[in-house]
């Protein structure tokens, strides 16, 4: 789910963003509106000198696009998720990687309905904790972060 605009340093890297392994079925209002606004906000953070680590995906079945509600498309070969989620770990000091993650590290997590009608919605209204996304998906995000730090940053809901 890496946007093409974020991989412009080479034709090869940009082309990889158009592979099905980098895509999920998104409603136009989700993809072109609220999701695009969150991507633009992420670019703003990078422009401020931040380093971002991003994890994203979809959950459930049954999104509602411009042609109605679908559970699958492409003759059943592509599942349409009910929501799209994203976790953005914001590092203030680029280059430190895992060592730069502390209990004060900003983590933005969202869970957005995959449906029409959210185009002009504010992504901030869909902020959740990483813990809630872990409960929803069954994944263990940020598992390389020490458990003492992880327990703090995964429980918080971003408010900036």
Hey, how many other C-beta atoms are within 10 angstroms of the C-beta on 114?
27
Which residues are part of a known binding site for Mg(2+)? 31
Name the least confident of 3-12, 45-54, 78-87: 3-12
What is the average pLDDT across 82-105?
A: 97
The pLDDT value recorded for residue 39 is 96
pLDDT in tens, 95-115: 999 999 999 999 999 999 999
What is the average pLDDT across 81-107?
A: 97
CB 156 within 8 A of CB 129: yes
Sorted by where each begins, the domain ranges of the chain are 26-153
CB 92 within 8 A of CB 46: no
Query: Rounded to two decimals, what is the model's pTM?
Result: 0.95
Which of these, 31, 20, 25, 23, lies nearest to 1 by C-alpha position? 23
The pLDDT value recorded for residue 134 is 98
Which residues are part of a known binding site? 31
Q: What is the CATH number of domain 26-153?
A: 3.40.570.10
Q: pLDDT category, 13, cuts 50, 70, 90? A: very high
């Amino acid at each position: 789910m890496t946007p093409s605009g974020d991989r412009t340093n080479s034709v090869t890297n940009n082309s990889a963003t158009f592979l099905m392994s980098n895509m999920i079925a998104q409603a136009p209002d989700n993809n072109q509106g609220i999701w695009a606004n969150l991507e633009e906000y992420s670019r703003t953070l990078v422009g401020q000198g931040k380093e971002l680590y991003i994890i994203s995906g979809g959950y459930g079945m049954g999104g509602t696009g411009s042609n109605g509600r679908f559970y699958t498309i492409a003759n059943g070969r592509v599942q349409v998720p009910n929501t799209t989620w994203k976790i953005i770990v914001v590092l203030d000091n680029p280059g430190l990687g895992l060592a730069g993650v502390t209990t004060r590290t900003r983590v933005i997590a969202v869970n957005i309905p995959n449906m029409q009608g959210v185009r002009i919605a504010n992504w901030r209204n869909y902020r959740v904790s990483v813990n809630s996304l872990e409960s929803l998906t069954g994944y263990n995000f940020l598992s390389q972060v020490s458990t003492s730090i992880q327990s703090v940053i995964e429980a918080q809901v971003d408010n900036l």
